[in-house]
Structure 1
């Protein structure tokens, strides 16, 4: 059975493993002060066109969100997030456990708008009886596969600047967002129009790891203390630094993300040709086709995926995710199997 449940089922890209093996017996300083972590940070700063960026490598996405948000906010301050946002829907109350409320806003495409932020701010005026919204959390790509345009990110950033809010971008799948066909964003744009963001390695060819990026020093002044205090400062920081150094050599990071997107688009195109509808427009490596439940049952005999949401008595939306390691042969076989199953159940549509 092949799993389309996530984009981190495989280990790591071979070149990452090879680099880890080659450097294995080299002695290096700990806690991110090693040669490779420094080199990776230099590469990222150059790619972002921001020499002032402060970068820290940590192990995972939920950890990153907890670390950044709990560091930036004072006890009475809160986070604005789309209702589909990972911190609101899928992190077991990690942010709330640090004492900060998450204020959800409704979104049909997983994105937060300036209008939604203004609505929240206008509703939280009764000082000191309500929490103070201070940080806007967004994901790119979003939890339902959509992406922000440069213009949308600029609008959010300028509003946050005007209203003295932090804009924090969850980049667990940032590579997939930047390499989407419809994207007009670059990593430099993201660095310019957010206060903090992170570059996800776990879901794009690394064994594990995310790179937290603060756009300037004053925002990250004591973040290293917070990393240590919360157990996120790894003694063997080289393990993360080596991986990011390799991922940002010869554009490997972008190549892997683009491959995942291309595999997904082949599946999406094939499904569309057969007349399938989607919960959201296929854009990145996350697909949400709406299928008859009998088709889903038959498909699940050979493929693993998540049932995302119920549509009606006969239909559900499922989530299919391709990865950096999804092979062309797998996609071709899936499309053949899907055609056979789907056409067999056409009458029930």
Structure 2
């Protein structure tokens, strides 16, 4: 049984494991005060071409989102997100548990635009309602779409005009930046958002996300917030070692590119079998629409998520590729689709 369910089914890239082994008996200070974490922060600032940002390393995406968002907002302030947004659908109400409402917006492509945000602002007009303050976006989104530079610039300008914070979830940022449709550079992002994170968990690390705080007013006392939320890791070196290894050369991009290349093979194979797609997703997640009989047959050898029912005989599935996805398994999956579809046509 080969899995296309997610991009964190494997452990970590061998270079990361080797770096962890080689440094294992080096004694270091805790809580991010180690040389490895400082080297990781320094290299990230170089890649961002921005030495003014603050960077904090955390263990996971939900932990990063709830720690950052709750720190950035006052008690009566709320988050705006798409209905597919991770903070709205897949974090067990973590943001709400910190006391902040998440206002959802229905979108077809998983992305927010200024007009949609304006509608929310127009509905929240006085102190009897929560005050929308932070715009949450993901790149790539939860349904595989990506933001281009013009879209992100438009969001930045709108948020600045309306005194809103713009926060980007970058769990799959590597895949977004390596997409053939992308025109953003990593160095662009710190000039266009107030805070964002670079996902390691879904791009070759054992665990870890690098939170980048770009807006000066959000930086003060953030380590206190980390400690209070249980996010200040005693063995912070484990995160520092991994991010330094990912960014000291081009490993981060290479791993994301591999995931995208494997998704491209799946996408082409589904298209060749005359399958349609729920959404155009130029990243490492694709959402082909399959006849239910084909899904049943494929599930005998492969695992994946059934995303949503399309009609009585068809459903959209989610296929996710990773830094470690084997090309032979991808081609085997494509071949299985063709064989099953051809056999059905003969019958």
Once the two structures are TM-superposed, the CA of residue 250 in structure 1 deviates from its matched residue by: 1.5
Alignment partners' CA distance in 1, 2:230 and 2:294 = 46
- Structure 1 runs of 4+ aligned residues shifted over 6 Å read none
Identify the residue that residue 109 of structure 1 maps to in structure 2: 109
Alignment partners' CA distance in 2, 1:18 and 1:176 = 24
Once the two structures are TM-superposed, the CA of residue 347 in structure 1 deviates from its matched residue by: 7.8
Q: Judge conservation of contact 1:179–1:257 (CA < 8 Å) in 2.
A: yes
SS of match in other structure, 2:333 = helix
Alignment map for 1:323-338 (pairs within 5 Å): 323-338=322-337
Identify the residue that residue 264 of structure 1 maps to in structure 2: 263
Alignment partners' CA distance in 1, 2:84 and 2:303 = 22
Q: Judge conservation of contact 1:137–1:168 (CA < 8 Å) in 2.
A: yes
Identify the residue that residue 40 of structure 2 maps to in structure 1: 40
Q: Judge conservation of contact 1:268–1:282 (CA < 8 Å) in 2.
A: no
Alignment partners' CA distance in 2, 1:223 and 1:164 = 21
Identify the residue that residue 159 of structure 1 maps to in structure 2: 158
Alignment map for 1:266-345 (pairs within 5 Å): 266-345=265-344
Q: Judge conservation of contact 2:59–2:209 (CA < 8 Å) in 1.
A: yes
Alignment map for 1:169-188 (pairs within 5 Å): 169-188=168-187
Identify the residue that residue 28 of structure 1 maps to in structure 2: 28
1:75 aligns with 2:81: no
Distance 1:136 1:347, change over 3 A: farther
Q: Judge conservation of contact 2:273–2:337 (CA < 8 Å) in 1.
A: no
Q: Judge conservation of contact 2:133–2:164 (CA < 8 Å) in 1.
A: yes
SS of match in other structure, 1:164 = coil
Unaligned runs of 5+ in 2: none
Alignment partners' CA distance in 1, 2:281 and 2:212 = 28
Identify the residue that residue 242 of structure 1 maps to in structure 2: 241
Alignment partners' CA distance in 1, 2:343 and 2:194 = 51
SS of match in other structure, 2:231 = coil
Q: Judge conservation of contact 1:50–1:215 (CA < 8 Å) in 2.
A: no
SS of match in other structure, 2:147 = coil
Alignment partners' CA distance in 1, 2:190 and 2:309 = 37
Alignment partners' CA distance in 1, 2:48 and 2:298 = 42
Alignment partners' CA distance in 2, 1:344 and 1:90 = 38
Identify the residue that residue 127 of structure 2 maps to in structure 1: 128
- In the alignment of these two chains, the number of paired residues is 347
Identify the residue that residue 96 of structure 2 maps to in structure 1: 96
Once the two structures are TM-superposed, the CA of residue 272 in structure 1 deviates from its matched residue by: 0.4
Q: Judge conservation of contact 1:55–1:212 (CA < 8 Å) in 2.
A: yes
Give the TM-score, by structure 2 length. Answer: 0.98
Q: Judge conservation of contact 2:143–2:281 (CA < 8 Å) in 1.
A: no
Identify the residue that residue 233 of structure 1 maps to in structure 2: 232
What root-mean-square deviation, in Å, do the aligned CA atoms of Structure 1 and Structure 2 show?
Answer: 1.0
Alignment partners' CA distance in 2, 1:346 and 1:229 = 60
Q: Deviations over 1:10-36 (max 9, x none)?
A: 000000000000011111111111111
Q: Deviations over 1:21-75 (max 9, x none)?
A: 0011111111111111101111111111111110000000011110011101111
Alignment partners' CA distance in 1, 2:110 and 2:281 = 13
Q: Deviations over 1:222-242 (max 9, x none)?
A: 111000111110110000000
SS of match in other structure, 1:55 = strand
Once the two structures are TM-superposed, the CA of residue 217 in structure 1 deviates from its matched residue by: 3.7
SS of match in other structure, 1:107 = coil
Alignment map for 1:187-226 (pairs within 5 Å): 187-226=186-225
Q: Judge conservation of contact 1:265–1:282 (CA < 8 Å) in 2.
A: no
